[in-house]
Structure 1
């Protein structure tokens, strides 16, 4: 553990100096980053925080009480751990203004009443500090070596958790950003894994390509000190991010062709329908003429898991699929027979079944609009990608379900949307901000459910009476009823714009 000021005062070399704490007793738990000695009056700006400053007060000789207060105030502003003044050389007794200012700043202020060379004190304390830093580096290296062996073996996330749990000596649980349980080690089952997250010893975010994908939680039981545990978790999250980016074996030629085609379709650089169809065929995607094509985007902690979901959905539909990794996402195309009627609904059902069968809660998928030809899929893929960002908490979402959100983000500048919100539902937004209520969401839910009080109350988990009280507040703030058909569209547009700009 890092050395605190209280621990350093207990060192034998410090006891020889007979320290007496005159101020800042409650702050003796501050961590000491370094022990430093100086007799410079202008030392404050040269300090970087965390130091224990040793001084004989020589730099204060000949100064008045105001200057001494200023000296200590500057030091306190640098977040030092404390100041120790040796009495006898410059000051036979401690100046009262130094004690008073230290108390005002809640700065630990200590007098040393016997002469011990500052070099001895600094050597002992700083050696311990360096030893601690070296311990952290050695621990981090041992964790990294264990995790690297697993990464090289290609065992994946479960193997990494097992290796890390061996170092931590307690359970580890990986939770996706949407709250889903992804994996765990050291627990008997899901229920025990959730219990471990209720009383965590520590946790760390898992970041992939600059995006927070989830969190790694250390449950109770680890014998490691808190700081060592934090180091182990930090190294583990890095390895997890690398594992999530891996697809396993090097991609086959059809996979590379698929990823390149999907990239060009997404970016709008594909060169025409004929060439796109040829490239799709080379990648193994040859849909029948009576099929429509549905673009999709998948966000997953592990690329292989998202690819597996798309493949399983295609098998459920008995049709081919095109899929590949593009940047941080997996993009894909499903072929659905026109004869099913609702081709988007059929694609969603197949993907939902695939997610369930593969037990892949960490995978999030969005479905775009249908297209008739491969060359027309760019818009469908872009809508699916945008839908993932617009509904980050949804496991499976279709672009048609959030068509209004997509249109607002596509065509409405932030200034225009802010103007729309302010002039249509501004009083509700201000009330929510001032009173921490949820009137805007209540209104949008009411409008989306056909102005049905019963259905809205059920969705919001409210009693009908509570909902009616909210509705009365909404109409009183707006100054008109919200069930009037003439204002329905404007209110729905404004509530959606508020949600989109807020996100």
Structure 2
């Protein structure tokens, strides 16, 4: 940082002169240079921002005229040595300097002015060189990030590392889009309200440093250091360079996912990969990114099936973005909030905060129906399912539950979801798993081997052997209930079961045999359901 008048007076070379401060005006202002002269008129030699060193002859002869000339020339102050040529300064000279807004310091011991100028100029030149080097490093860093098409988080993190300050990128509605790694959770608490307060005036405004992102007439965000920075000038310069890199990123990525959804997806990835493990940190970021506080959060996955994959990867990418947008819009339109992340082709993971936790089932049923209706408007989508993992009180646990929700969605998609609004783990169970594995040759071979005799039944009997066996297994071997369901007499049913037993060569009353046969029937049914689609 540039040296101020007060810092110059505090240097050892000046302190050896036993300085006495007669006027402390301009004390915290940075000096541009130190000039040593005993001339009465320095107006032609000064450019403004200097600190003048003098033995005081001209000051003693006409203090007001001398100080007025320095003030008009833009000098910041005067250091005068008392005792060599001037025994003492005129009375009231401190008040004159104060009136003219000049610093005035008297040295009561003899010092070498060259020592002072050398110490100050060395510091000034070093500061200037450091600023040039820092400026070059900032330029090279953000140019490199732009060339590498770094993410929003990558650019924000680079700015934070350079400044050793926390940095947040927000949109014009004061929703955080990205926050630097390691930012304290309390800096993100109640972000939207505090950010709006910063735009105000007076004592209520936050002491933040803010730079707009995007062309002046088309700004789409703000970069914020959410506290008073150690170096305001350097902070502003870095934020401006980072803002230019972000504007370039926006131009390059304009056909990709919206910035808000990129930020949310980045948070989910950070939690899944262990980069964020602290719940308070995750919660602060999530709430700054638009997720409301609630008693429990639901990990959920929306998975869709398409008519046929496209041969155009760009078209597929755009359809996936449209799918993600449809899911996010539907959730928000229903009054809920969430974090959203594209997990794969036609699959979106989300952490849901429902608007009303008192009627969870009703809210999920309504949301599932709305999602099915809206995502079917996306080009190529034929069917979709909403799958829910176990609810969690902590956001990090809900994010971890996305893996289970994704599994449920995959299994549910293998079934015939029909009009069912949503699926939980209890809704898929073994039948869902077998539907998922129906194309595995080993599973198919197992089913064929177990049921070969009833699958080849050509007796023409109604119901068929397979139907009788299926219902027998569904009712866990309850023959009385089976006879009633099939509208058969018990003797006829017992004869039919005996024939099936002999054909299969297994004991139908044995628990393991019943389990094996039931699994085989489920595999056959799953394959038949797939063929009928």
TM-score, normalised by the number of residues in structure 1: 0.44
Query: Which protein is bigger by CA-based radius of gyration?
Result: 2
TM-score (norm 2): 0.41
